[in-house]
């Protein structure tokens, strides 16, 4: 049952992403991208990451995409007369590059949890990783012990405190940069 739901949302995500790449109008490309992100949020929930799934919908599909929509609206790019998709050469290049990446990463499709466990055990002596890979249910166990949000919040404010603080600096820099860039009169 879970697999059927997963493949349904996977198909939805792939079709929406393809339509996002291929649709001529920026607005419809954006709506297709939102649809792909909603499908990905559903997949996150299926993969035991409920909190990340909600954040994906709130922050990505909600906030960031609305930012894009605002810019499209401000610059009046909604109605396009000519297509911006490159000609046959561009199409061929996109097919080659995309196909190469799928060919390289497609082997990941056949990865299973026991196989990763075997490979980790064969390569390095990382005891913690071995324990985690053994059952293959680290996230599930963690959610059962600390709750869905608590299991993320505790390491975020303890083990990953410094990256978290750097993140706030990054956001500050982004705010300042955006204001400076957008306010300058050409």
Partner 1 sequence: MLLGPALGLSAVLFSLGVAGVVLRRNAIVLFMCVELMLNAVNLAFVAFAQVYGVGGYLMVFFVMTVAAAEAAVGLAIILAVFRHHQSIDLQNINLLHG
Positions 102 through 131 that interact with partner 1 (CB under 8 A): 102, 105-106, 108-113, 116, 129
Near partner 1 by CB under 8 A: residue from 1, 3, 88, 125? 3
81 binds partner 1 (CB under 8 A): no
Calculate the alpha carbon distances from 79 to 7, 26, 83, 147 in Å: 34, 8, 11, 47
182 binds partner 1 (CB under 8 A): yes
Cα 71 to Cα 30: distance, rounded to the nearest angstrom: 12
162 binds partner 1 (CB under 8 A): no
54 binds partner 1 (CB under 8 A): no
Burial 92-115 (b: 16+ CB within 10 A, else e): eeeeeeeeeeeeeeeeeeeeeeee
Near partner 1 by CB under 8 A: residue from 73, 124, 130, 173? 173
Near partner 1 by CB under 8 A: residue from 8, 73, 94, 144? 94
Shortest Å, Cβ 123 to partner 1: 15
Q: How many CB atoms lie within 10 A of CB 78?
A: 13
Shortest Å, Cβ 176 to partner 1: 10
Of 21, 33, 86, 25, the closest CA to residue 62 belongs to 33
Cα 27 to Cα 20: distance, rounded to the nearest angstrom: 10
Positions 18 through 37 that interact with partner 1 (CB under 8 A): 18, 20-21, 26, 29-30, 33, 36-37
């Amino acid at each position: 049952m879970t697999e059927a739901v997963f493949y349904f949302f996977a198909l939805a995500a792939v079709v929406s992403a393809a339509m996002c790449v291929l649709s001529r109008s920026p607005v419809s490309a954006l709506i297709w991208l939102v649809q792909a992100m909603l499908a990905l949020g559903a997949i996150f929930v299926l993969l035991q990451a409920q909190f990340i799934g909600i954040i994906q919908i709130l922050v990505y599909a909600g906030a960031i995409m609305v930012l894009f929509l605002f810019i499209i609206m401000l610059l009046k790019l909604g109605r396009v007369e000519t297509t911006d998709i490159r000609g046959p050469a561009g199409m061929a290049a996109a097919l080659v590059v995309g196909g190469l990446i799928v060919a390289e990463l497609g082997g990941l499709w056949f990865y299973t949890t026991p196989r990763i466990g075997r490979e980790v055990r064969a390569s390095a002596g990382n005891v913690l990783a071995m324990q985690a890979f053994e059952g293959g249910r680290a996230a599930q166990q963690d959610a059962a012990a600390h709750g869905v949000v608590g299991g993320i919040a505790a390491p975020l404010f303890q083990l990953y405190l410094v990256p978290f603080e750097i993140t706030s600096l990054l956001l500050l820099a982004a705010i300042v940069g955006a204001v400076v860039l957008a306010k300058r009169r050409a």
